[in-house]
Amino acid sequence: MTNQENPAVIDPGQGPALDLAGKHIVLGLSGGIACYKSAELCRALIKAGATVQVVMTEAAEQFITPVTMQALSGRPVYTSQWDSREPNSMAHINLSRESDAILVAPMSADFMAKLLHGRADDLLSLMCLARPIDKVPLLVAPAMNREMYAHPATQRNFVQLEADGARVLGVGNGFQACGETGDGRMLEPEQLLEDVIAFFTPKTLAGQRVLVTAGPTYEAIDPVRGITNLSSGKMGFAIARAAREAGADVTLVAGPVGLPTPRGVTRIDVKSAENMLQAVTGSAQAATVFIATAAVADWRPSAPSTQKIKKDGSGQTPQLAFTENADILATVAQSAAALAGKLFCVGFAAESHDLLENAQAKRLRKNVPLLVGNIGPDTFGLDDNALLLVDERGSTELPRASKLLLARRLVQEIAGRMAARPALGQKAKAS
C-alpha cells in the first residue's frame, strides 16, 4: 500500500519533519497493559511519515481492540496466521517481506521467551522467526513487572535476544499497573519514536565521543537574583540528539534549562560559567568532538552577596563589580588534545548584527576550525533557527528550519570534516 492509499499519512507539506518517510513498519503487540501506549506509538510513527501494519497476539486483544489499532493505522489489523485475506495463506511471509522493520511494543516476558526458543504458535512470533534477518531488523520494547524484569531468566533472555540480532530498546522506571514501582515499564511512545528514528539514521559519527554544551549560565548577584540570558538550550539539545542518532557517544553539559534529556545522552547539569568550565574540562579529555553551543555569560559579579540586597528607600543603586569568566571554547581549543588534532572544536556565536564579520573574527580569535553563527534575538526560545557555517574556506548558509533539522545538517557537516581529516593528514605527509 502506498502513502497515497493510506489516509493516515500526513502530507509532507504539513506538520513536523517526516523523519520516517518511506519506511513501512510492522508494529507487533503482545499481551500487556502497556498496549494502551501502542495506540499513541502507532500515531507517532505515522506522524513521522511511516506506514504502519499492526499485528496483534490473542493476549494483546485482551487489552486493546483491533478496531482501535485499525482506526489509528488506517490498515486492517492481522491477528491470525490463518487469515483468509492472504491469497497464499502466508501472512507471516508476506507481511515480513514488505516491512523495513518489525517493532514489537509491548514485548512481554512470555513473548520474549518464545522468540528465544524459536517458538512460532501465533502470527506475530511466526513472522519474527520467518523474517529475513539480514534485511528486516527486529526491534523490541519490553514491558513487564519489575520482579519479572529483574529475574535472572529474563536477563539471560535479553542477552541472548541481542546476540541473535534483535535490538532491545530498554525499559522505563516508575509506577506500574500492579501498584509496584521499579524497572520494567515500556518506554513512552515519544521515547520509542526517538529510538526508531535513531535506528534508521546513518551512523556517520560511529566511534566518536561528542561533548556538547547547551543553554545559558546563571551568575548569582545574591541568593535570589542573578545575571543570565535568553538562551533556551533547544539548539544544543537538538545537536546532542542528532549526534546520538548518528552513532556517537554523547555527553551534554547543560545550563539551567527545563528540557528533557535526549534518549541515550549522558547529561551533566551545571549553573554558572565556572561550573560549566569545570564539567567541560573534565569531560573534554575523553572527547573527539567538542560543540560549544551554550551561551556562556562573559562576566560574573566579583563578590556575590550572601544575603538578598534590599532597597533602602534612598534611591541609591547597589554598586556591582564584575570579573570576566574564563573562555570555555578558547580554553578547550588550546588544550593538548585539540592542538594535537585529536579534538575537533566547533564554536557558536549568537550575534545581534553583522553576523558574518563577527563570526569570522570569533573563529580566528578562538582558533577553531568551524564556527556556527546565528542572530540570537531571532532564535532564542524558538523551535527554529537559521545558521551560518564559517571555516577557513568561507561561509555556508543553512536556511531557516527546525532546530532538529539544522542540528542534523550540522552533524553531517562535522562528520564530513572528521572523515576528511585522515586523508588531509596523509596528503600533507606525502607532500
Measured at the CA of 210, the angle between CA 364 and CA 348, to 5 degrees, comes to 35
Neighbours of 127 (CB within 10 A): 27
Question: Annotation-wise, does 383 bind a ligand?
Answer: no
Three-state DSSP state, 70: helix
345 is catalytic: no
The C-alpha atoms of residue 273 and residue 337 are separated, in whole angstroms, by 22
Task: Check if the beta carbon of residue 245 is closer than 8 Å to that of residue 294.
Answer: no
Q: How far apart are CA 248 and CA 287, in angstroms?
A: 10
Q: What is the DSSP string of 148-215?
A: HHHSHHHHHHHHHHHHTT-EE---EEEE-TTS-EEEEEPPPHHHHHHHHHHHHS--TTTT-EEEEEES
**Exposure on the CB side of residue 387, measured as CA atoms within 13 A:** 24
Q: Which of 35, 42, 128, 178 is catalytic?
A: 178
Beta strand 249-254 with 209-214 is parallel
| 62, 131 Cβ separation under 8 angstroms | no
292 close to 344: Cβ distance less than 8 angstroms: no
Is residue 403 a known part of a binding site? no
Strands 181-185 and 225-227, by their bridges, are unpaired
Helix-strand-coil split of the chain, %, nearest 5: 35, 25, 40
348 is in an annotated binding site: yes
Q: Is 271 marked as a binding-site residue?
A: no
| Alpha-carbon torsion (243, 249, 252, 258), positive or negative | positive
> What residues are paired with 219 via a beta bridge?
227
Q: What is the DSSP letter of 252?
A: E
Query: CA–CA separation, 398 vs 129, rounded Å?
Result: 45
Residue in this structure with the C-alpha cell 559579579, named with its chain if needed: 301
427 a known binding residue?
A: no
* DSSP states of 299-366: EEESS--SS-----SS-PPPP--EEEPP-HHHHHHTSHHHHTTSSEEEEEEEESS-HHHHHHHHHHHH
Write out the binding residues for CTP. 298, 308, 348, 362, 366
Write out the binding residues. 298, 308, 348, 362, 366
Positions marked catalytic: 178
